[in-house]
Amino acid sequence: GAFPQKRGLGLVVQTQMSKKGRVFSGARPTGRQHLGNYLGAIKNYVALQADYDCVYCIVDLHAMTTLEDLSQIKANTAEMALDWLAAGLRPEETILFVQSHVPQVTELHTILSMFTPLGKLTDLPTFKDKVRLQPHNINYGLVGYPVLMTADITLYKADVVPVGVDQQSHLEFAREVVRTFHHRTGRQVLVEPQMKNTEFPKVLGTDGKRKMGKSENNHIELALTPEETEQMVRTMVTDPQRARRDDPGDPEVCNVFTLHKSFSSSEDITMIDRECRTAGIGCVDCKKLLARNLNEHLQPFRERRAELAKDPQHVWEVLHDGARRASAIAAETIAEVKAAAGLP
Ligand code: SF4
């Protein structure tokens, strides 16, 4: 029942007083989403719709800071939006759009950059990481990335931003920029966003070592067929100490068990936790069960995705409709910011 209606575009939904405020979150267009994206973001995005007015943005401009091959941005945007919609984002109420479709964000970025000390940006650990990771492409946009993120959040007057531990420093940074802007202009026109700390399960890839990710090539995509899913699950690395079928295993160090905890029934989880430790269940059967439960869980998603994919234009209509609604908020904010900043 949580799946969005296909139609209903152009509907401007009034802010519902019953909701707790506005949430903003952005994600880079990475194409087809995997289990890590699902457990780490999408599931939460869907759930937040019940309590908040949600603004979800596909941040194509941010993607440009690290991509060298830009040719995939458009296709990746469409694929990601398809997955989000199929997973239960409801565009009739949630604003789902592409960052660059609302150009005021770059305007706000420029204005806020004047209130941001350069040293703060170059001192951020995330910037230093990027310098280390892409020494041949230390572009100007990379330095300003947190300012653009601040513009994303504040342009849409978000009250709340869901963040994992790794992004807390960026949100704290955004709050500081807002305070500086208010202090120097003497006008409180922006909303200082609150952090909504969210505990995400740590999802490792099929290698059982690194975080699940496309660049690591250790991911399981949501949109795979049941057979492909089973095949991927079969390749998963289990408890490395369990060399033979008769060896007892430790589910706590096994990534297959981590996924069971998210996709299997409590009976299955209890059974595996017990039987793995006594070698009552083998890894082959344990994985078969995981694949079955995963496929069962993802079946409505896959049906819905196939339905949506029949009309490739539809996803762009949804995104453009979202951009129109986002623009209405953005126009208001930018006017207030310019007035506060004393621009003629
Ligand atoms: Fe992991 Fe399951 Fe094998 Fe235990 S039985 S090591 S939980 S795959």
Cα–Cα distance between 32 and 296 in angstroms, integer?
A: 19
Q: How many CB atoms lie within 10 A of CB 307?
A: 13
Kindly report, residue by residue over 271-290, the tens digit of the pLDDT.
999 999 999 999 999 999 99
| Lowest-confidence pick of 17-21, 112-116, 202-206, 293-297 | 17-21
Name which residue sits closest to atom 8 of ligand 1, judged by CA: 283
Higher model confidence: residue 169 or residue 309? 309
Query: What pLDDT was estimated at residue 7?
Result: 39
Mean pLDDT of 294-319: 97
220 CB less than 6 Å from ligand 1? no
222 CB less than 6 Å from ligand 1? no
Asked whether the predicted pLDDT for residue 16 surpasses 60, the reply is no
283 CB less than 6 Å from ligand 1? yes
Asked whether the predicted pLDDT for residue 3 surpasses 60, the reply is no
Asked whether the predicted pLDDT for residue 111 surpasses 50, the reply is yes
Asked whether the predicted pLDDT for residue 5 surpasses 90, the reply is no
Give helix then strand counts, H and E, for the chain.
Answer: 14, 5
Asked if 78 and 86 touch (Cβ cutoff 8 Å), the reply is no
Helices (H), 114-167: 118-123, 125-133, 140-155
Cα–Cα distance between 320 and 291 in angstroms, integer?
A: 36
Cα–Cα distance between 159 and 186 in angstroms, integer?
A: 20
Asked whether the predicted pLDDT for residue 11 surpasses 60, the reply is no
- Percent of the residues in the chain that have a pLDDT greater than 90, as a whole number: 87
Q: How far is the CA of 249 from the centre of ligand 1 (A)?
A: 6
pTM of the predicted model as reported, rounded to 2 decimal places: 0.91
As a whole number of Å, the end-to-end CA separation of the chain is: 51
Q: Select the highest-mean-pLDDT range: 7-21, 91-105, 201-215.
A: 91-105
242 CB less than 6 Å from ligand 1? yes
**What angle separates helix 312-341 from helix 168-185, to the nearest 10 degrees?**
40
Query: What pLDDT was estimated at residue 164?
Result: 77
What SS3 class is residue 152?
Answer: helix
Tokens of 337: 């910011």
Nearest atom in ligand 1 to 275's CA: 5
What one-letter code names the amino acid at 37?
N
Q: What are phi and psi of 208, to 5 degrees?
A: 70, 5
Return the bridge partners of 204, or none. Answer: 211
pLDDT category of residue 17 using cuts at 50, 70 and 90: low
233 CB less than 6 Å from ligand 1? no
Asked whether the predicted pLDDT for residue 15 surpasses 50, the reply is no
Higher model confidence: residue 237 or residue 7? 237
259 CB less than 6 Å from ligand 1? no
- Listed in sequence order, the residues at least 6 apart from 86 whose beta carbon sits closer than 8 Å to its beta carbon are 3, 301, 302, 304, 305, 308
Q: How far is the CA of 201 from the centre of ligand 1 (A)?
A: 18
Query: What pLDDT was estimated at residue 149?
Result: 96
Selection from 103, 9, 8 nearest residue 321 by Cα: 9
